[in-house]
Structure 1
Amino acid sequence: MKNYSGRHIYMAIAIGVIFLSPILLLLLPSFIANSVHPTPAYWHVLVPKESYLLYGIAFLMLFIAPLIIFIFDVKRITITIGIIFLCFSGFFFFLASFHYISIGSDSIKYREGFFEVEYQYRWDEISRVKYNEVPKSEGFSEYNIYFMDENMINLPENGKIKEFRRAITNTLQEENIIIE
């Protein structure tokens, strides 16, 4: 008689990961970004949508790792493959944490990925700001912020940024920057 208890533990882990992933995908990226990348006097650290894709891939790998062990039985090769998927999952979590936009009272700091340079600009280094208003049914309106060195970021006006809209416009007015 076979002992299935080891296999079923991995099945339970896979089921737990698949059910918790959507909830964690909503909460974890913002928590990690605000913990790892705060700026002095920051208001909020925004996680761009590209980063959510990487987090999604990481959770998928985290789901596949125990699923492979369950499907193909607990053997040395399946455990090795599961550990490889677990390592890939950690790698994607690591890569996703490097994509952020941090907005504070003194500066805007952002990085577009692990292999990219981190930029930090004071508010007086902004050359112009363009506001693209979009109907609510079509998505978020966004700020296109252009810096003196020709770099530009898109800042979607989601719920958190909308909370800081007055602070953003006041800071831009103090620097004599008109929102187009």
Structure 2
Amino acid sequence: MTKNYEPKHIALAVAIVIAIFSLILIVFIPQTVADIVHYSTGVWQVFVPKENLIVYGIGFFLLFLAPLFLFFMNMNKRGIYICIASILLSFIPFYMASQSYLIFSNDSITQSPILSTKVSNYSWNEVQSVTFYEAEEGERSKYEFIFQDGHLIALEDNAYFQSILSKLENKLTEVKLSIERVMLDHHQE
């Protein structure tokens, strides 16, 4: 017994594979792309904002839709054009997400928010204060950086941040600052 697969069924299989791999790749792709695009000499760490995951998710969803259009439109010309358009449109969110980052380096802290062309670059002398908010067990602690112009950057205390903590403390000592520690107690609120 031979199996006869129509091209539209192959398109459906491709859509399913894209969906499965997207769930796996969304964990690794944002940080990998940020490191490749923005890492250079003197950079301690490139952080990827959580919002980037949503934008990457939109890109992967557009890729997932492309073969689905072929499947539901029975591989006709209109379906092919819509498939190609969906693939091309997926590059827009991928590019936008790759341009959003937070970089800690020897010389500065640089932030480029999602959906913005503005890049904020602060030298270490422009840091006004750094506060570590220590959360209760089971919750995430965070660091807040306040700059002389009032701009605030908040970061979760995670493994990426822990990897630069000693460099950060050394740099803050150079500019005569220290990390203020605050214990968060949600029972008092």
Which TM-score applies when normalising by structure 1? 0.90
Matched residue, 1:80: 81
1:52 aligns with 2:79: no
Single out whichever of 98-107 and 46-55 deviates more from structure 2: 98-107
Q: Is the 8 A contact 2:63 2:86 kept in 1?
A: yes
Partner of 1:155: 155
- Could you list the per-position Cα deviations for residues 118-165 of structure 1 after superposition, in whole angstroms to 9, with x for gaps in the alignment? 111121110111211223522x32111111222221122211111221
Q: Which has the larger radius of gyration?
A: 2
Aligned counterpart, 1:174: 174
Cα distance, 1:39 vs structure 2: 4.5
Q: Give the counterpart letter for 1:73 in structure 2.
A: N
Q: Within 1, Cα distance between the matches of 2:153 and 2:69? A: 41
For 1:149, give the aligned amino acid. Answer: D
* Cα distance in structure 2, aligned partners of 1:66 and 1:22: 17
Secondary structure at the residue paired with 1:137? coil
Root-mean-square deviation over aligned CA pairs? 1.6
- Aligned 8 A contact 1:39 1:104 in 2: no
Q: Which amino acid aligns with 2:60?
A: F
Question: How much does 1:38 deviate?
Answer: 2.2
Cα distance in 2 between the residues matched to 1:36 and 1:129: 27
- Residue 143 to residue 41, structure 1, CA distance change in 2 (3 Å): same
Q: Which has a greater percent of helix?
A: 1
Deviations 1:21-49 (A, max 9, x none): 12211111111111111254011101010
Residue matched to 2:32: 31
1:114 Cα deviation from its structure 2 partner: 4.0
1:105-125, CA deviations, whole angstroms, 9 ceiling, x for partnerless residues? 221111002423111112111
1:48/1:99 contact within 8 Å kept = yes
In 2, are the aligned partners of 1:39 and 1:102 still within 8 Å (CA)?
no
Q: Does 1:122 align with 2:115?
A: no
Please give the secondary structure, in 2, of the residue aligned with 1:116.
coil
Question: Residues 131 and 124 of structure 1: is their aligned pair in 2 closer, same or farther, counting only changes over 3 Å?
Answer: same
Between the aligned partners of 1:78 and 1:34, the Cα distance in structure 2 is: 36
Residues in 2 aligned to 1:90 and 1:102: alpha-carbon distance in whole angstroms: 23
User: For the residues of structure 2 that align with 1:167 and 1:102, how far apart are their CA atoms?
Assistant: 13
Write the letter of the residue equivalent to 1:155.
L
Seen in structure 2, the aligned counterparts of structure 1 residues 92 and 146 have a Cα distance that, compared at 3 Å, is same
Offset, 1:74:
0.2
Question: Whole-Å Cα distance in 2 between the matches of residues 136 and 76 of structure 1?
Answer: 57
Q: Secondary structure at the match of 2:179?
A: coil
Where has structure 1 moved over 6 Å in runs of 4 or more?
none
Whether contact under 8 Å (1:39, 1:109) holds in the other structure is no
Matched-pair identity in %: 33
Q: TM-score, normalised by structure 2?
A: 0.86
Match of 2:187 in 1: none
**42-51 or 76-85: bigger deviation:** 76-85
Distance in 1 between residues matched to 2:144 and 2:128, nearest whole Å: 11
Which runs of 5 or more residues in structure 2 are unaligned? 181-189
How far apart, CA to CA, are the structure 1 residues paired with 2:126 and 2:53? 29
**1: CA distance between counterparts of 2:85 and 2:137?**
42
Give the Cα–Cα distance (whole angstroms) in 2 for the partners of residues 150 and 92 of structure 1: 30
Q: Which moved more, 1:128-137 or 1:47-56?
A: 128-137
